[in-house]
Amino acid sequence: MKVLVIHNFHRKGSASGDDQVYKNETALLEDNGVDVIKYTVINDSFDNSNVFEKVAATFGMLWSFKHYYSVKKVIKREHPDIVHIHTFFPLLSPSILYAGKRAGCKVIATLHDTRFICPCATSLRERTLCNECGDGKYFRMFKYKCFKGSRFQSLIVAFIFKYHRIRKTFYRQIDKYICLNDNQIKLLRDIGFDENKIVKKYNFVKDSVEILEEKQVELPKLPERYVVYFGRLGEEKGIHVLMSAWEDLDDIPIVVMGAGPLEEEFNAWAQDKKQVICLGHTEHSKCMKIVTNSEFVFFPSVCYEGCSMVVIEAESLSKPIVATDLGFASEAIIDDYNGVKVKLNDVEGFKNAVRMLWSDTSKCRQMGKNARMDYENKYTLERNFKQLEAIYNNKIEL
C-alpha cells in the first residue's frame, strides 16, 4: 500500500496536537511496512517571506496553484492508493483536495478541529463557544473580528470559506472524514455532511512509560506533591480558568509546562504565587517524567478538543485528569473512574475537584490505575494501526 500524507505544519517549536499526530501516524505507517510519501509545508515560510510573497500567499489561501500542481505532480509520479490530508490551512489551501480527486485518488481527511464548522477552528468567540458559522454565513466574522482579532483578516478568511462553501468543496472533494470524537460527528451531521463518509478513530501515543525507560532525564527541584498542567498557554486551553482557580488554591502546588500567546501574561500573574511553578516549554521526555511524579493532571480547556494528546499521555502514565466536560473529554473521562469532569468555565467546580483529589490520595491512585487501563484499551499504537489500515483498505476496495 502506498499513501501520500499531506500536512500544513504550525510554526517551528509549536507543540500543536495535529503536528504531533501527523508525525506519529506517518512513523506508525512506515513501521508497519506502508510506503509513505510526505508532502508538507510550515507556516514559518510565510513569516520569512517578503511583502510580495506574503500577498501572494494570502491569495493562495483561497486556491494555491503552486500546491495544486505540486500535489498533482507527486501523484502522477508516485501513484499512491490513498491521499490522506491532516491540515491544509492556511498555506496548502483546499486546492489540494481537488488535486487528489482529479487525479483519481481516494481522499481521506483527519479533522483535528472544528474548521469545517468554524473557520477559526476553535469554535470560540470571546471565550464563549460559538458554532454559528455552521450555517455558512461567514461574514459575521468581520463584525466580531473572529480571526486573530482583525476585521481585515476575518474578512479574508470568511471569503475563502464562503467560496468553498458555495462550491461544496468540503462535501464533495473528500471521500472519508476521520473524526476524533462523537461531538465532531454531531457537528458535521448538523450541517449536512454525509454520515456514511464519517468514521471515528482516536489518536494514539507511544507508551510514555516505555519512553521514560529509554531515556535518563534530569529534573528541576519541585515540591514533593504537585498537580500538573502541560500544553499550550492559549485562551482556548482554559488558562484563565486555571489562573482563577489557583487564586484560592494557595496550599496546592501546580507545575505548568508549555508556551503560547498567553505565556507573558501567565508568568506575570504567577510571579507572586509560590504555589505556581512555571517551567515554560519543556522537552517531551522531561515533561513526561514530571507528569509521572505528579498527583494528577489539570485540563480546563474551553474549546472542543479533538482527541487531546494531553489526556492520552496522562492516561498512559496512570494519571487521572480533572477536565472540562466538553468535546473529547466528555467521552474519554468517566467521573470518579479515570478522572473528574467539571462544567465549562465552572471555577468553583474545578477548585472543588482539585481539593477532592488532592486530599484523597488512595482514590487518586485507583483512578490513575483505571486511566492506564483506559489507555491500553483505546489509545495504543497497535490498535490505531489496525483501525487506520481498515479505513485505507475500505476506500481502496470501493
Could you please report the per-residue DSSP string of 295-353?
S-EEE---S--SS-HHHHHHHHTT--EEEESSTHHHHH--BTTTEEEE-TT-HHHHHHH
What three-state secondary structure class fits 96?
helix
Same fold? 2-112+175-204+381-397, 208-378 = yes
Residue 319's nearest CA partner among 304, 300, 303, 340 is 340
Question: For residue 272, is pLDDT > 70?
Answer: yes
Share of the chain above pLDDT 70, in %: 99
pLDDT at position 15 is 65
The residue among 365 and 148 whose pLDDT is bigger is 365
CATH architecture of the domain with range 208-378? 3-Layer(aba) Sandwich (3.40)
Say what the pLDDT of residue 208 is: 84
**pLDDT in the model for residue 50:** 85
Question: Which CATH architecture fits 2-112+175-204+381-397?
Answer: 3-Layer(aba) Sandwich (3.40)
**More confident position, 357 or 284:** 357
What pTM did the predictor assign? 0.93
Binning pLDDT at 50, 70 and 90, where does residue 141 land? very high
Q: Residue 90 pLDDT > 90, yes or no?
A: yes
Coil vs helix vs strand at 159? helix
Under the banding of pLDDT at 50, 70 and 90, the label for residue 8 is very high
**In a 10 Å sphere around its CB, with 0-12 CB exposed, 13-18 middle and 19+ buried, how is residue 333 labelled?**
buried
Sorted by where each begins, the domain ranges of the chain are 2-112+175-204+381-397, 208-378
pLDDT for the residue 210: 83
Predicted pLDDT at 398: 67
Average pLDDT value for residue range 242-251: 97
Comparing C-alpha atoms, which of 183, 202, 179, 205 is closest to residue 315?
205
Q: How confident is the model at residue 369 (pLDDT cuts 50, 70, 90)?
A: very high
Residue matched to cell numbers 471565550:
127
The confidence band for 14, taking pLDDT boundaries of 50, 70 and 90, is low
Identify whether the C-beta of residue 293 lies closer than 8 Å to the C-beta of residue 4: no
Q: pLDDT at position 265, please?
A: 98
Residue 319: pLDDT above 90?
Answer: yes
**161-170 burial by CB neighbour count: b if 16+ within 10 A, else e?**
bbebbeeebb
**pLDDT tier at 191, thresholds 50, 70, 90:** very high
In sequence order, what are the residues at sequence separation of 6 or more whose Cβ sits closer than 8 angstroms to the Cβ of residue 224?
none
Q: Are 7 and 86 in contact (CB under 8 A)?
A: yes
Measure the CA–CA gap between 99 and 83, rounded to whole angstroms: 10
**Range in 5-19, 90-104, 141-155, 259-273 with the lowest mean pLDDT:** 5-19
- Cα–Cα distance between 332 and 312 in angstroms, integer? 9
pLDDT-based confidence at residue 13 (cuts at 50, 70, 90): low
Map grid coordinates 462550491 to a residue.
167
pLDDT of residue 211: 78
What pLDDT is stored for residue 196 in this prediction?
Answer: 96
Q: CA 143, 343, 263: angle at the middle one, nearest 5?
A: 60
Residue 13 or residue 172, greater confidence: 172
pLDDT band at 48 (very low <50, low <70, confident <90, very high): confident
pLDDT of residue 49: 81
Q: What is the pLDDT of residue 58?
A: 86
| Total residue length of the chain | 398
d(CA 144, CA 147) in angstroms, rounded, equals 9
The answer to whether residue 297 scores a pLDDT higher than 90 is yes
